[in-house]
Chains A and B, each alone.
Chain A
Amino acid sequence: MERRQERMRNFCIIAHIDHGKSTLADRLLEHTGSLTEREMSEQVLDQMDLERERGITIKMQAVRLGYHAVDGQDYVLNLIDTPGHVDFAYEVSRSLAACEGVLLVVDAAQGIEAQTIANVYMALDHNLEIIPVINKIDLPAAEPERVKQEIENVIGLDCSDAIMTSAKIGTGVEEILEQIVNKIPPPLGDDDAPLKALIFDSHYDSYKGVIAYIRVVNGILKNGMRIKLMQTGKSFEVNELGVFLPAAAKIKELYAGEVGFVSASMKDVADTRVGDTITCVDNPTSNPLPGYRKATPMVYCGLYPVETVDYQDLRDALDKLQLNDASLVYEPEVSEALGFGFRCGYLGLLHMEIIQERLEREYNLILITTAPSVVYQVYTTDGNLVEVENPTNLPSPGNIEFIEEPFVKAAIMVPNEYVGPIMELCEDRRGQFKNMEYFGTNRVLITYELPLSEIIFDFFDQIKSRTRGYASLDYEVAGYLESKLVKMDILVNGEPMDALSCVVHRDKAYVHGKALVEKLKNLIPRQMFDIPLQATIGSKVIARETVKARRKDVLAKCYGGDVTRKRKLLEKQKEGKQRMKQVGKVEIPQEAFMAVLGVEK
């Protein structure tokens, strides 16, 4: 093995949201002198505003740290950041494939969360060295010994060397760096073998094209080299190689075991798939790396611009977002009520929210979002299988043999006293109880099988509010099962509002339909005529309300000669009217859609 590789370590940090991963990463950067204190605005690794606000990392980054260890040697440490949310389990697995070890960060007050367990198992699957780090020991509520015990019991990890840190005040950072050097094995790989490098992430830069984040497994990647992407078969010439220190720094070569980025005038993001293997055109390897499975969108919803003129802007924005987020899929869709928009697929609910927020914040778009839906598998009477991701497209009831919907295995970690409320919630959401495990004296891991459609709608929020924020959730898709599902339509003035159609369980249709029309009744302003609101299943009306006609709308007063005031009042009224969508004869305010669709801002 090369001496160079012996002084290199590739690692990432896995932690539950809020357990302090980003702060710890910042401390490591600071301690190794990668950043002066002045350069640090908090949490350098979380670049996007949104990440900073939500305290979660969405897009990973790779940073190179220089460390002078106690043994007198200088080491190169590559820190690969990982996202910390359940929707991004797939991206975590990508980060893990580029490492030899992980720091498992657990909050000293909170203990292990459902998410932590899932990620640790993933790390074990990749045969990675795990270094337990108990963080936030400075908190008054910290119980580091109990948490240590918990990690040993739950995960079966030896915690005798677990590091006690407070990333916030900076204790234990030195010890972490020492353990990284001493415990995590150096990367293997042969500089002389044909080039083989794994793309573990990519990023689109409007000047340079796709920038691929790579881990060189074998061989040497050089500036100017002709490279080939093995899956797509496309060839490019490398025009920039570099590493993040954390600012981007250009280098000439990347050796086996190293992590860095490459740009090669790759204009099309589809050419550089994450998980693909880069090799050299002149001396190619014969066998590519295993790669990844493609992330499948689990949740779909319609996105519509409030202003129809923004349609093209929305398309451009989605194009741009997709460049950096291959898991986002979308295709054009037309709704009678909402006009032109897109049906978008996401990894999960958080992913959906993040995309929507980025569209609104970074691209200044105002959007209406339809209720999220899962992908239903509909078996038709003529023996076909149709995948339906938009309730509007569900075949008519007569043509449906049966419908299957995706189920997930959900693991919910809660303190003892909240078991009741959580089970109640899961039962209410059509959950099937699977298992209950006690960890230590106070913590319980409850496992339920639940329809995915039941957890994409405010399930996280419900879990949090029912446990005063103490519960955590992890889920994985378990497969498709048959359910008694029906399509419910909402008719406004006799016309179906496609955007409000939804697939619901037969037993819940009545309650849901009633709630929906009641809500709508309060949101649709009175107009010149009575407006009946109906919830229907097929031709059967299951709930009905009426918005009474507006009979009087006239300014009586004279206001002296203050015509401006009169005009302003009328202008205000007109503005309100303009913000409405015309559906048939009825004018419906945007807020009504937003409120009914549960995305109140």
Chain B
Amino acid sequence: MHSGIYIHVPFCLKKCNYCDFVSYPYKDEQVKKYVDYLMKEIEMRAASAAWKDRRISTIYVGGGTPTCLPEDYLVKIIKKCFRCFYIESAAEITVEANPCTVDKKMFEKLLYSGVNRLSLGVQACSSRELSFLGRIHTFYQAIEAFTMAREAGLRNIGIDLIFGIPGQKLSAWRECLQKIVAMNPEHISAYNLQIEEGTPLYRSVQKGFVNPCNEEIELNMFWDCIRILKNNGYTHYEISNFAQAGKKCAHNLNYWFNGEYLGLGLAAHSYFNSVRIANKKTIIDYYEDLQNDCLPVMWYEKINPELEMAETIFMGLRLMKGLSLSDFYNRFGCRLEHTYKEVIKKLIKSDLLTISGDNLRLTEKGIPVANAVFIEFLP
């Protein structure tokens, strides 16, 4: 089976108003130190029995903003992975990038080091929306970054978008999609803005300064997104993800297939040998563990077969194609349609799930209320 590596870069020039991922403000000193310790973690994990001889088919460097690091650091990280792990020749190697933190030279160096996919955080297409989100770039700069990546030779670029921004009109969202489609990226992720506790956005909503987007509008934005992107040659392959032929994100597909992966760096998550692991999420703790030659593990959780089935189902159902019943049988030795007979019967009756061929999948009615379907499969 497929194995992936995720590497977290917990630094940003400025943290966005809606973001609740772990990230620190960029500081030269800090970044250097972090990369050193990251090297050490990579070595330790690569030497472990579980990862020593594995074939790695995807690497994903995410954040934070990986590209706020000087390009040499990024190259150093990629190279380290190649030296320590067994990376398949056709491996997908993605780096997340934000406009304003990139230039053509950086892209060239990354490409040269083996990076073959870029995930560009464009997020929105109007300056009002971008500044509302707390992004530091303009849409023009996003286009510039995209163009530089193309010029440098990147042939697989994904663009991240956010919809349901307070004050955003349906028409503005459609226009935004048209602008993005015109750029012709290979991949588009469109996420509905989530107002997470602990973020500045959450506080603004609590205080009544900001009115969250109306649910009905969000839903229409979602349907429009699917329609427009389909009309322009993109396959809607996961609830929030769209790709041109052959350009689905292999790294994320591995998550949705509930495959194994190794997370490296601050607050990164791993899943292998039926255990989920979360790394330390404050930088001091992370350093301290590694200094003491310990893996910086915050907690781990053993996943029993029952839980593994549930996770496989709710991750797999996120894919529009659904979840392969034969794959499920091969993996667990029992039939999904028998084990969850009553649940499936009920959900099919409510027109939320359907079985087509070998696949169990969400119906069009089920997609926007997927959580209500997923919870039925939890133990």
Chain A residues within CB distance 8 Å of chain B: 528, 550-558, 560-564, 566-567, 569-571, 573-574, 577
Contact = CB atoms under 8 A, between A and B. Distances in A.
With most chain B CB atoms within 10 A of its CB, the pick from A551, A560, A570, A571 is A560
28 contacts: A528-B369, A551-B215, A551-B368, A552-B215, A552-B218, A553-B369, A553-B370, A553-B371, A554-B192, A554-B367, A554-B369, A555-B371, A556-B193, A556-B239, A560-B6, A561-B255, A561-B268, A563-B276, A563-B311, A566-B315, A567-B307, A567-B314, A570-B378, A571-B375, A571-B378, A574-B375, A574-B378, A577-B375
A585 B271 CA distance: 39
Nearest to B240: A556
B28 interface: no
A561 B271 contact: yes
Contact of B255 (A550, A551, A563, A570): A563
Given A563-B311, A571-B378, A558 B255 contact: yes
Nearest to A564: B276
A528 B8 contact: no
A558 B378 contact: no
Given A528-B350, A563-B269, 8 more contacts: A528-B369, A552-B222, A554-B370, A556-B240, A560-B269, A564-B269, A566-B314, A567-B378
A557 B239 CA distance: 10
Interface in B29-77: 62
Contacts of A556: 191-194, 239-240
A558 B192 CA distance: 11
Contacts of B286: none
Interface residues of B, number: 43
Contact of A554 (B189, B269, B301, B371): B371
B369 A550 contact: yes
A49 to B, nearest CB: 37
A561 B372 CA distance: 22
B372 A553 contact: yes
A563 B271 contact: yes
Given A551-B216, A551-B219, A556-B240, A562 B378 contact: no
Contacts of A558: 189, 191, 240, 252, 255
B369 A560 contact: no
Contact of B368 (A552, A561, A574): A552
A574 B374 CA distance: 9
Given A551-B216, A556-B239, A566-B314, A573 B371 contact: yes
B278 interface: yes
Contact of A561 (B192, B263, B374): B263
Closest 8 CB pairs of A and B: A556-B192, A574-B375, A561-B269, A556-B191, A554-B370, A553-B369, A553-B371, A562-B269
B319 to A, nearest CB: 13
A558 B251 CA distance: 12
A567 B215 CA distance: 23
Contacts of A570: 314, 371, 374-375, 378
B178 interface: no
